Chains A and B, each alone.
Chain A
């Protein structure tokens, strides 16, 4: 049972990452490969504030989101100049730079040693230390994120985003300052990712730079692409499938060394197949 809770928690957390990425990639059409870098900033901030200053998890999480939003503001000003595949390369570059900072700023992040012993969240004396209580917390956050995202995409603001995705020049003719909208949704998206990152750090109780590498960013992108860009159910469905698939491989009887590579192979293959035959994903609404 514990093991099922563990998988359910991972699904909830990766759903949060995927929904956050979908706001930028699916609804605004900016394919970004740097979600792991941002949930990394959220995770490190939350972990360090809890460990070094004894801050409560929820305050630390908030601080992590704010710091991530600040970084995203600066970065977004740079990224708003890029388009299409240049935007993708820019975000790849940022993922590598963030990874370098995580691993090399040893006095702060512990470098390759990572940060062990991150506490579980506590609220009014109740500790979310059991898997079940943490699952409830994670699902509650996922629900909040989902409702928030649904609100954003169905608001007038969300309609402008979709218009940018379809034809940025046309919408700017109508006097919309598209770079402002792009920047705002980018910041919102990274702050949601940071929320998931803080939860991830507290759940694993240990983080190291490998948790936030380019491979993880590509993994989150694969979730969204599989589930469907420009829909909110898509990322949740994608997370469900892609988190469970490799775990299933463990039980099918592949030797562990092969199973590990099979996981990577499968999500690579899914990217190719989806692009080739169903670029809108399983339930998506936006065709790249």
Chain B
């Protein structure tokens, strides 16, 4: 028995030494000439990796631009990307590493709301600022003085669509098909609060994430004869599955989708017949904005594909520049950067004019869209 304990003890000590040495490696403190390290947390595995991959590319693109233009007061910006896997535990672990090992002062992210909810307490206790370009859960509003986001809360997405559904379209009964995830549940709650407040009724068929066979859920919803169906999933792939099975069953209801879908040109194109006239509320993009147009060109040039998920892309791109401006203004210090980010007003970026309120949420919200001939276009009453 003692031998084993000795072995365990030896492994522990050895491990500590290896870590101690590797973390000392000369890059512990924020020296004034080395690169400024900024953390990034995005999902790189799982279904949500479809957002994480472009997210990593776009932030890297922005950093390359900044460094090519001389960096921040002559210092380069360096990104340290961690996988939050779109869940709380891994995001908390990734944040621990960024805060304590890499000693970053600012983290861009997290992307999924579940990631951010878990990451914020860790970042806040390490006095590290976070700016999320994608987390939209209403639970994140005013969650910490160290957290801001330049992507709006789902509360606005839900209320915009609920108002259109009830007032413009005269729908009284909406059926949700909702994936059991944080984001999708947030959209459902926001929509259903407003819609039932107006006098309508909302039913909800939730399903576990691993579901692949939706036929019975669709059949059941069809039998309830709703005025419209709201497909509310975490990722476009799952919406695609549901749409394909609706097509198979030969049912073409009036549809709402959450803002994850319109930016996914592949899925929208593949199901454009059933999606014709579908309503969504996206943060929306403005191709006439020169900064956004430049982003489109630069992304295509660097990565060889069209810019995906454009409404997230613009906020991800802007978040890097917001961080640069914050560090330029107040230095690489988590507390000061967080305070500065809370005062952003009429800042011009790829997403247009950005103003962040004292609750950490951007002031602008979701704009309604309608899908026509496989393309989202602005909704007019």
Contact = CB atoms under 8 A, between A and B. Distances in A.
A114 B87 CA distance: 10
Interface string A202-243: 001111101100000000000000000000010011001000
Interface string A247-277: 0001100011101110000000000000000
B89 interface: yes
Nearest to B22: A251
Interface centre among B20, B137, B181 (most CB of A within 10 A): B181
A237 B100 contact: no
Interface stretch (B68-76, B91-99, B243-251, B261-269): B91-99
Given A113-B185, A114-B114, A208-B114, A257 B49 contact: yes
B8 A240 contact: yes
A104 B204 CA distance: 12
A129 to B, nearest CB: 7
Given A104-B180, A116-B117, A259-B83, A206 B92 contact: yes
A255 B53 CA distance: 12
A129 B122 CA distance: 11
A257 B56 CA distance: 12
Contact of A204 (B45, B89, B99, B182): B89
Nearest to A213: B87
A111 interface: yes
B1 interface: yes
Interface stretch (B10-18, B287-295, B340-348, B368-376): B10-18
B87 A113 contact: no
A210 B45 contact: no
A112 B100 contact: no
Interface residues of A, number: 37
A191 interface: no
Contact of A211 (B22, B88, B117): B88
B66 interface: no
A117 B89 contact: no
Given A237-B8, A256-B81, A205 B118 contact: yes
Contacts, number: 112
Contacts of B206: 104
B180 A261 contact: no
Interface string A94-114: 000000100110100001111
B19 interface: yes
Given A113-B182, A208-B88, A244 B8 contact: no
A205 B19 contact: no
B83 A111 contact: no
Nearest to A283: B4
A49 B137 CA distance: 24
A245 to B, nearest CB: 11
B117 A112 contact: no
A240 B11 contact: yes
A206 B88 contact: yes
Interface of B: 1, 4-5, 7-8, 11-12, 15-16, 19-20, 22-23, 44-45, 49, 81-83, 85, 87-90, 92-93, 96-97, 99-101, 113-114, 117-118, 120-122, 125-126, 137, 139, 143, 180-182, 184-186, 206, 208
Given A3-B23, A116-B117, 13 more contacts: A3-B100, A3-B101, A4-B20, A6-B93, A112-B180, A112-B181, A114-B118, A204-B89, A208-B87, A210-B89, A240-B8, A260-B44, A283-B4
21 contacts: A1-B23, A2-B99, A3-B19, A3-B100, A3-B101, A103-B208, A113-B137, A114-B88, A116-B117, A116-B120, A204-B92, A205-B122, A206-B121, A208-B87, A208-B89, A236-B8, A256-B44, A256-B82, A257-B44, A261-B45, A283-B4
